[in-house]
């Protein structure tokens, strides 16, 4: 068990670093944001979580053309993922557009 | 993976960080959103065009069809939605992202289960993605009123624990047995969906923004697991960034309501139903009704009027009329300000967005901490469609579910006019003793109708 853990750690060291550093970046980026911006910020972060679309595309690219079930599921995954991305960014932009107008 | 695509992913990851940082500042927010969107765009295009293996044309056609369909749908919905409906829209979009993550896990389970690590990552992605999907859909249904605000199931704790145990049991069984039977993955998907429903169902409608933020964070983590599976740095970095930022945002929102997160999530568990009829001891008494013309006179002769807008104002689409009322009062020499509670509306900052839509002067929107000292020198307060954010029970009733939440101290003003549609308790389902205050006059009716009448009366004065 211990050796497995050490192997896992060594093999994925780069990724583990990214995870740890990104946690701190996320905390740092959000700290001290005025409450007024919580809604657009949440909406923007929501659009970013649509990054999973890249996984959906990779799945499709990697699937054999005969595997119809996987293709069908992948198709749905892309539609849903891109909905999250495009809808998320557009609605965030609409919210922020209103903040700008009142200057 | 080629160097070109790695480089594009690096740029994309940087745009996510910079974009999110810029979203935190009113001046740069809009640009920040566009930068992050641009980064997402190049990452998607790069993934498709720089893929280094030979891919069948049919698959390319399928990918593009899916992207175009989803983009058009997302664009249209986001452009058309009314600003009042935004919170549920964000929730729905988030659910879509979760669904996408769960589906990827299900497909991958049937293709790659070559290593233990992959299996664990797939299982985690499916569980988290599914919880995010069904949880977001429940939050969506609660926000748009299709589902009751608070639902209590009999034997809730028992059912909940059983579902959690079954999710874990199936997950461990797949890992243990090394089985690649897709039936297990569908079972896991189904159980995690049920858990997501159970997770959100007992939480009150007023706490949905916090729940959505938390689920958003979960979708980010699900995306990160998918990134781990594919050795894909941009998904890993972006996912963890959203996961961490979403969690901090969740805490910030709880902070604005002065409630710990555990209270929001577990507060509804095991409480007797009595809290649905809160504060009955204090809220007995008589209420005083008033008419638009009396209220108009009261405001006309005031030196300062503070308007407290709530979600009811937005539902009635009365943002424009209230701006008209404000301008009219100002032209008569009355000082008018808006008191903005951080959680007024259905999301923190929602009310600012709604009023900004009508070109209300930014300087007139005063945040809670700055406006509270002004109430005692204010002649009239007009509360439109707000309830919980002005409920004195938050200060003086330790038994109240909102006890400890900072509120707008309108009861210090010389007179209070409250516009509500009826005497029904507010969104959080709590009685409000402010309505029975001697200084309070109730102005019943739809916010838009009542405000239009007020404007009409004031014009004739």
Confidence of residue B278 (pLDDT cuts 50, 70, 90): very low
- pLDDT category, B276, cuts 50, 70, 90? very low
The residue among B350, B331, B341, B323 whose CA lies nearest residue B448 is B323
First and final CA of chain B: distance in angstroms? 75
Does residue B282 have a pLDDT over 60? no
| Token output for B28 | 């740069």
Neighbours of A21 (CB within 10 A): 13
Contacts of B275 (CB under 8 A, 6+ apart): B399, B401
Query: Shortest CA distance to B370 belongs to which of B409, B335, B405?
Result: B409
Tell me the percentage of chain B whose pLDDT exceeds 70: 92
User: Rounded distance, CA B416 to CA B443, Å?
Assistant: 10
Interval B26-36 mean pLDDT: 92
Residue with more model confidence, B4 or A39: B4
- Region B117-126: what's the mean pLDDT? 90
Q: Could you give the CA distance from residue B401 to residue B272 in angstroms, rounded to a whole number?
A: 12
Neighbours of B255 (CB within 10 A): 14
- Restricting to A residues 23-52, those with a Cβ less than 8 Å away from any Cβ of B are 23-27, 29-52
What pLDDT score was predicted for residue B373?
A: 92
Q: Is B388 a residue of the active site?
A: yes
Name the phi and psi angles at B340, rounded to 5: -105, 115
**Gap between the Cα atoms of B461 and B459, Å rounded:** 6
pLDDT in tens, A10-60: 888 888 999 999 999 999 888 777 777 888 888 999 999 999 999 999 999
- Return the higher-pLDDT residue of B52 and A89: A89
Is residue B299 a contact partner of residue B305, using CB atoms and an 8 Å limit? yes
- Is B62 in Cβ contact with A75 (below 8 Å)? yes
pLDDT value for B65: 96
Question: Higher pLDDT residue, B178 or B124?
Answer: B124
For residue A2, give its domain range. Answer: 1-32
Q: How many domains does chain A have?
A: 2
Instruction: Decide: pTM greater than 0.90.
Output: no
Tracing tokens 């069908």 back to the chain, one arrives at A72
Q: Please check whether residues A103 and A70 belong to one and the same domain.
A: yes
| Contact criterion met (CB < 8 Å) for A18 and B73 | no
A100 and A55 within one domain:
yes
Q: State chain B's mean pLDDT as an integer.
A: 86
Q: What is the pLDDT of residues B392-430, one digit of tens each?
A: 888 888 877 677 778 889 989 999 999 988 776 655 567
Residue B270 confidence (pLDDT):
40
Nearest to A63 among B59, B359, B362 (CB): B59
Q: Who's near B363: CB < 8 A, 6+ residues apart?
A: none
pLDDT band at B274 (very low <50, low <70, confident <90, very high): very low
The whole-number average pLDDT for the span B222-237 is 93
Note the pLDDT of residue B387: 82
CA triplet B208, B211, B213: central angle to 5 degrees?
Answer: 110
Domain co-membership, A48 together with A18: no
Confidence of residue A92 (pLDDT cuts 50, 70, 90): very high
Does one domain contain both A28 and A48? no
Distances (CA, A) of B45 to B42, B48, B201, B379: 5, 5, 39, 60
One domain, residues A26 and A56? no
For B333-382, write each residue's pLDDT tens digit: 999 999 988 777 777 777 877 887 787 887 888 888 889 999 999 999 99
User: Residue B341 and residue B350: Cα distance in Å, rounded?
Assistant: 10
Min Cα–Cα distance to chain B from A1, Å: 12
* Segment of B64-73, B117-126, B292-301 carrying the highest mean pLDDT: B64-73
Q: How far is CA B374 from CA B118, B258, B349, B380, in A?
A: 60, 22, 21, 11
CB contact under 8 Å between A25 and B241, yes or no, is: yes
Q: Give yes or no: residues A70 and A95 share one domain.
A: yes
Cα dist from A47 to A32, B33, B258, B418, whole Å: 21, 9, 27, 38
Q: What is the pLDDT, as a whole number, of residue B438?
A: 87
- Measured between CB atoms, does A6 come within 8 Å of chain B? no
Q: Residue A33 is nearest to which of B24, B228, B233, comparing CB atoms?
A: B24
Under 8 Å CB pairs connecting chains A and B tally to 362
Q: What phi-psi label fits residue B38: left (phi over 0), alpha (psi between -120 and 50 degrees) or beta?
A: alpha
pLDDT for B277:
42
For B48, counting Cβ atoms within 10 Å of its Cβ (0-12 exposed, 13-18 middle, 19+ buried), the class is middle
Residues A17 and A59 in one domain: no
Q: CA–CA separation, B326 vs B302, rounded Å?
A: 13
Q: Each residue of B128-183: pLDDT tens digit?
A: 999 999 999 999 998 887 777 667 777 888 888 999 999 999 999 998 888 878 89
Q: Which two tokens stand for residue B148?
A: 């009751």
Q: How many CA atoms lie within 13 A of A40 on its CB side?
A: 35
CA B191 to chain centre: 25
Rg of chain A on CA atoms, in Å: 19
Is A73–B256 a contact, with Cβ atoms under 8 angstroms apart? Answer: no
Nearest residue on chain B to A23, judged by CA atoms? B244
pLDDT reported for residue B318: 85
Residues A87, B75: C-beta atoms closer than 8 Å? yes
- Write the residue in A46, A55, A101 that is nearest to B230 by C-beta: A55
CA distance B122 to B111: 11
The ipTM (two decimal places) reads 0.92
Residues A39 and A49 in one domain: yes
**Does the beta-carbon distance from A92 to B33 stay under 8 Å?**
yes
Do A65 and A39 share a domain, yes or no? yes
- pLDDT tens column, B237-250: 999 999 999 999 88
Say which of B207, B275, B388, B397 is annotated catalytic. Answer: B388
Nearest by Cα to B246 from A22, A13, A74: A22
**Do A43 and A28 lie in a common domain?**
no
| Whether residue A9 is found in the same domain as residue A46 | no
Instruction: Tell me how close the Cα of A8 comes to any Cα of chain B, in angstroms.
Output: 8
Q: What pLDDT, on a 0 to 100 scale, did the predictor assign at position B425?
A: 61
Same domain membership, residue A24 and residue A46: no
Which chain A residues contact residue B50 at CB under 8 A? none
A73 interaction partners in chain B (CB closer than 8 Å): 103, 106-107
| Residue-level pLDDT at B32 | 94
CA distance B301 to B319: 23
């Amino acid at each position: 068990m211990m050796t497995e853990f050490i192997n896992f750690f060594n093999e994925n060291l780069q990724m583990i670093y990214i995870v740890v550093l990104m946690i701190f970046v996320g905390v740092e980026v959000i700290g001290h944001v005025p409450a007024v911006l919580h809604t657009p910020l949440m909406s923007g972060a929501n659009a970013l979580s649509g990054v999973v679309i890249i996984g959906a595309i990779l799945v499709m690219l990697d699937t054999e053309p005969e595997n119809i079930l996987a293709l069908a599921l992948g198709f749905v995954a892309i539609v849903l993922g891109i909905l999250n991305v495009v809808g998320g960014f557009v609605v965030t932009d609409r919210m922020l557009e209103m903040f700008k107008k009142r200057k | 993976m080629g160097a070109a695509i790695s480089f594009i992913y690096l740029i994309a990851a940087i745009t996510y960080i910079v974009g999110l940082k810029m979203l935190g500042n009113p001046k740069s927010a809009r640009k920040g959103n566009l930068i992050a969107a641009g980064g997402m765009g190049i990452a998607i295009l790069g993934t498709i065009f720089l893929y280094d293996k030979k891919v069948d044309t049919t698959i390319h056609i399928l990918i593009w069809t899916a992207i175009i369909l989803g983009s058009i749908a997302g664009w249209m919905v986001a452009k058309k939605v009314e600003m009042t409906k935004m919170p549920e829209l964000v929730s729905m979009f988030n659910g879509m992202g979760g669904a996408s993550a769960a589906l990827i896990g299900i497909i991958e389970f049937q293709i790659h289960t070559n290593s233990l690590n992959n299996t664990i990552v797939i299982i985690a992605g499916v569980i988290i993605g599914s919880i995010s999907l069904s949880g977001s859909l429940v939050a969506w249904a609660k926000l748009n009123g299709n589902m009751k605000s608070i639902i209590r199931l009999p034997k809730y704790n028992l059912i909940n624990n059983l579902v959690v145990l079954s999710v874990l049991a199936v997950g461990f069984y797949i890992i243990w047995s090394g089985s690649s039977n897709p039936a297990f993955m569908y079972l896991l998907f189904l159980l995690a969906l049920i858990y997501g429903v159970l997770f959100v169902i007992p939480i009150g409608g007023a706490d949905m923004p916090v729940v959505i933020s938390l689920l958003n964070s979960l979708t980010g983590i699900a995306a990160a697991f998918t990134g781990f599976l594919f050795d894909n740095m941009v998904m890993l970095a972006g996912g963890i960034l959203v996961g961490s930022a979403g969690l901090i945002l969740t805490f910030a929102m709880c902070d604005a309501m002065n409630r710990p997160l555990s209270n929001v999530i577990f507060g509804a568990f095991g409480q007797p139903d009595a809290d649905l009829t809160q504060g009955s001891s204090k809220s007995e008494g008589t209420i005083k009704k008033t008419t638009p013309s009396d209220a108009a006179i009261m405001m006309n002769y005031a030196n300062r009027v503070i308007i407290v807008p709530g979600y009811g104002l937005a539902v009635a689409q009365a943002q424009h009329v209230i701006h008209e009322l404000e301008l009219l009062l100002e032209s008569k020499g009355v000082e008018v300000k808006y008191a903005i509670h951080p959680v007024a509306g259905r999301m923190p900052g929602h009310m600012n967005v709604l009023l900004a839509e009508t070109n209300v002067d930014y300087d007139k929107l005063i945040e809670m901490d700055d406006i509270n000292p002004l109430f005692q020198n204010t002649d009239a307060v007009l509360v439109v469609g707000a309830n919980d954010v002005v409920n004195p029970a938050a200060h003086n009733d330790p038994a109240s579910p909102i006890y400890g939440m900072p509120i707008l101290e309108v009861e210090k003003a010389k007179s209070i006019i409250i516009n509500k549609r009826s005497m029904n308790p507010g969104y959080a389902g709590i009685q409000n003793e402010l309505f029975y205050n001697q200084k309070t006059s109730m102005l019943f009716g739809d916010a838009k109708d009542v405000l239009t009448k007020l404007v009409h009366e004031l014009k004739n004065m």
